[in-house]
Amino acid sequence: MSAAVDYRDPRIRAAQIQTVYRHLPVVLAANIMVSAFTLFVVWGKVPEWIAITWCALIYIITSARIYDTWLYWKEPRLRERLDLWERRFLLGTIVSGAVWGSAGVWLFVPANIEMQAFLAVVLLGMGAGAIASLSASPPAFYSYFTLLLFPLIIHLFLSGGLVREAMATMGLVFYVIYSIFARNINKTLLESLKLRYQNIELVESLTREKEAAERANIAKSKFLAAASHDLRQPLHALSLFATALGDRIRYPEVRKIVDNIGASVQALESLFNAMLDISRLDSGVLQPDMEDFRLKTLFDRIENDYRPQAEEKGLLLHIESCGDAIVRSDKTLLEGLLRNLVSNAIRYTDQGGVSVRSSTAGSECVIEVRDTGVGVPQESLDDIFNEYVQLDNPERNRRKGLGLGLAIVSRIGRLLAHPIRVDSVVGKGSIFAVTVPRGQAAGVKEHTEVPMPAVGQELRGMHVLVIDDDLAIQEAVQVLLEGWGCTVAVAGSLEEACASVGAGLPLPDGILADYRLGKGGTGVQAIHAIEALAGAPIPAILITGDMAADGLRDVHASDYRVMHKPVKPAHLRAFLKHAQKQKQQSRQGVQ
């Protein structure tokens, strides 16, 4: 049941007035033609001065209404004066109806039934036209229609005779029928207008809510992306302290507690990194860096990193040879996408294995990650790409993941314009396929990676400079490195870093520098300054919590290796091993 219509709603009144004025040019044209034809038919049957006067009045009122219509459409701002235009239109309609209705008296030929029937047809025809043109304004319609028909109806009744009385009666019947039609049309029009404005309000409301939600989501994402440096600081320090503690513990009962702490830190890192990845992708600050590269480099790293995880579950991880396939994409983002797919496949597979393969077709390369896991129901294939959706983890067991992996996959796929397809059978496994454009061999930048020494070597004798303005991280790195046998100097700013290598103090064998330092300085500036004092390059690594490419433009322009917080201690140790080897090679060259 429809709600009651507010007839005085200004928007509805404006629409009604606009409707009748839109129809008015056609109505006025009909007035000119019908009055001229009527004059032609009655000419010689009524006094000529009466016929001419009646027709002249029709033309005068029609001309006035044409001018009124021109005024209405000329100045849009005037249309906002609803009361004025309602009165003007109603007045014009009343005068027009009175002049047309006078034909039932002035042009009535008492002895000629054919002329009386002709007048009835003309006036009923004009009334029928009024149903369409005036229904939007009930006062105008009823005024016009009553003045149009009743003079003729009354004249017919007063003239007497069965035929005339029958014609008068039919005129009354048509008056009632036309009035009902006009009322129903008006009601339908008003309800459609009200529904239109309700829909407009609803759309505007939904649009405002959607825009507000989008702004809130973007603001949240930008906040997390911008604040990632500060958010990563304590987690970075916690990871370093936990590793340093683990290196010093020898008692089995305490060792188990430390291992649990380490596992919890790793779980926290996984959750934190996944949430920041989602925020970076949603905030729009992440722009892909497209390049041509060999797919084998990604496959080798994935096999090296995930084979132990698969073997721990008793699964076979099969990385098929991709030959010399070259693709064009953002290497880091594509690797993150594939890592999430492989990690997800291993997590949801208990028997059998996981395979990664690629195939080329024309200008595209299709990379598939297959598993023999639990599979996904067909009705849930779209849901699995939403955040925190885990079909086989109702108890929210964190060892089964966070439900963010496929959400990241979906966002990276959209960002890179790499279509993602999934086929799955419950109980038999799933196939996730990503389509990547093929690259050109001429565009491949060949990288020669320097092999890292084994982790088991000692770091004694290494002098390391740590540059970071966070005291907790200074202490955490110092405790960790001293546990590995290094001597450590710490600095919180560019000036302190330069002071640490002056006045006869030893030059560092390696530098660990945070990108953002106090007093507006950067780690890049600090490393450059120390190398200038040393007169030679020093192995250095930049550590940062920033993820936006724009904020790290000078980092990428340098040749320094970059690690993002929270940094795994094993990566720091591998870097220091490499620096130690360079130091040993330098001494041998001098000798």
pLDDT at position 211 over 50: yes
pLDDT at position 455 over 60: no
Match 């040393």 to its residue by tokens: 534
Rounded Cα gap, residues 34 and 31, in angstroms: 5
Rounded Cα gap, residues 541 and 314, in angstroms: 37
Rounded Cα gap, residues 352 and 355, in angstroms: 10
CATH 3.40.50.2300 holds for 463-590: yes
**Could you tell me the pTM of the whole model?**
0.46
* Amino acid at position 201, single letter: E
Identify the three-state secondary structure at position 110: coil
Q: What is the mean pLDDT of the chain?
A: 81
* Amino acid at position 339, single letter: R
Rounded Cα gap, residues 79 and 16, in angstroms: 12
Secondary structure string (H, E, C) spanning 156-199: HHHHCCHHHHHHHHHHHHHHHHHHHHHHHHHHHHHHHHHHHHHH
Question: Domain limits of the chain?
Answer: 10-204, 291-442, 463-590
Instruction: Give me the architecture of the 291-442 domain, per CATH.
Output: 2-Layer Sandwich (3.30)
Q: What is the pLDDT of residue 49?
A: 93
How does strand 353-361 pair with strand 364-371? antiparallel
Q: What is the pLDDT of residue 223?
A: 66
Q: What is the pLDDT of residue 150?
A: 92
Q: How many Cα atoms occupy the beta-carbon half-sphere of 185 within 13 Å? A: 19
Q: Let me know: does 547 contact 286? Beta carbons within 8 Å.
A: yes
What band does 437 get if pLDDT is binned at 50, 70 and 90? very high
Q: What is the pLDDT of residue 286?
A: 65
* Per-residue pLDDT reduced to its tens digit, 372-413: 988 888 877 777 776 545 555 444 444 444 456 788 888 888
Q: What is the pLDDT of residue 62?
A: 92
- Dihedral sign (CA 242, 245, 251, 254): negative
Q: Let me know: does 528 contact 556? Beta carbons within 8 Å.
A: no
